Amino acid sequence: MRELCAFDTADGLYDCCWSEENENILVSASGDGSVKVWDVSCAARGAPLLPLRSLEEHRHEVYGVAWNLVRRDCFLSASWDDTAKLWNLAQPGSLRTFAEHGYCVYAACWNPRAADVFATASGDCTLKVWDARAPYSSATIRAHDFEVLSCDWNKYNDALVATGSVDKSARVWDLRAPQQPLLTLAAHTFAVRRVRWSPFAADVLYTASYDMTVAMWNTGAAGAAGGGAPPAPPLMRRWEHHSEFAVGLDASSLVDGLIASAGWDEWAHVWHVSGDPRAGG
C-alpha cells in the first residue's frame, strides 16, 4: 500500500466514508463536532489539501458517518449530542435531525434496499429503526444491557441487523421478531467496537473489539447442521495482530474475503481472510 494523500485536522477523526456519487469525495466524523468533506483528487491537481466544506451543526463529537447506498445523494452523521443528522451536499445545511435517543448515538447504517430506511445504535442501549419520511422512529429495540457501539445491516436480508456492545457481545436481530436476538456471539473479552456484514456472503459477520482482536463468524452455523449432527461453532477465525484496541473494520465490496482493520496502535492492516494480516495477506 502507498499513501495517496493526507489531510491535517484540528481534532481526532472517529469515522469516515466514501461518497457513492463521486469516487474522489469522502466525509469524516470529527471530535470537534464537525463533519468535514474532502476531495482526494486535490493532491493530483496540486490544490490545497483543505476541506471542501465543514458541516458544523452537531454540538458534540461526531462518532459515525454512513453514506446511502441506494439513493446515493445523502449521508448520515451520528453524534455524542444524542442525535443523528441527514445531509445532502447540494444543500447548505442538514435536511433533518433525528433526536429520540437518550444518550450518545455511536453509529448509523442504511437499509441496503430501502432508500429512506436506516438504523442507529446508541449508548442508551437501544437500536432504533427510522424512515426518513416519517416523523418518528418506526421501531426501538432494547438491543443490549450496556451501550450499543455499532450496527450494520445485512446486505442480503434486510430483515437482519447486527449490533456490537460494551457487554462484549455482538447480536443479530430479525426486525420482524425483535423481542429477542436471533443470535448472540460472545467470544470477545472487551467491548465490540465494530460489526460488519460481508458483502459477498449472507451468513458472514466480522467484529472488531477493544480486546485487540478481529473475528469472523458464521451466523448461519447453528441452523446448518442436519441429520442430527451437532451445530458448527459460529466463530470461524480470530486474528490477534493489533497491540491496542481494534477500532476500525471494513470489508471490500470488490474482492471477496478482503478485509481491513485499524487500531489504536497506529496500524491499519488489509488482508485476505485466508491469510495473515501481519504478513500483508
Q: Measured between alpha carbons, how far is 107 from 89 in angstroms, rounded to an integer?
A: 20
The helix (H) or strand (E) run that includes residue 252 is none
Taking the C-alpha atoms of residue 70 and residue 236, their distance in angstroms, rounded to an integer, is 31
What is the pLDDT confidence band of residue 228, given thresholds at 50, 70 and 90?
Answer: low
Residue 235 is assigned to a structural domain of this protein: yes
Mean per-residue pLDDT, 231-238: 83
- pLDDT tens-digit profile of 29-77? 999 999 999 999 987 777 778 999 999 999 999 999 999 999 999 999 9
Query: Among residues 86, 25, 22, which one has the least CA distance to residue 58?
Result: 86
Is 80 a member of any domain? Answer: yes
Q: What integer is the mean pLDDT of 117-143?
A: 98
Domain housing 88: 61-279
Domain assignment present for residue 253? The answer is yes
Cell readout for 215 is 473475528
In this structure, what CATH number is given to the domain that contains residue 274? 2.130.10.10
Residue 42 lies in a domain: no
Q: Flag whether pLDDT at 151 surpasses 80.
A: yes
pLDDT in tens, 175-224: 999 999 999 999 799 999 999 999 999 999 999 999 999 999 999 975 54
Tell whether 10 is covered by a domain: no
Number of domains in the chain: 1
pTM: 0.93
User: Do the beta carbons of residue 176 and residue 154 sit within 8 Å?
Assistant: no
Q: How far out from the chain centre does Cα 205 lie?
A: 12
**Is the residue at 108 inside a domain?**
yes
- For residue 167, tell me if it sits in a domain: yes
How far is the C-alpha of 217 from the C-alpha of 104, rounded, in Å?
28
What local confidence, expressed as pLDDT, does residue 225 receive? 45
Is residue 2 domain-resident? no
Between the alpha carbon of residue 44 and those of residues 4, 21, 39, 49, 71, the distances in Å are 9, 20, 10, 10, 29
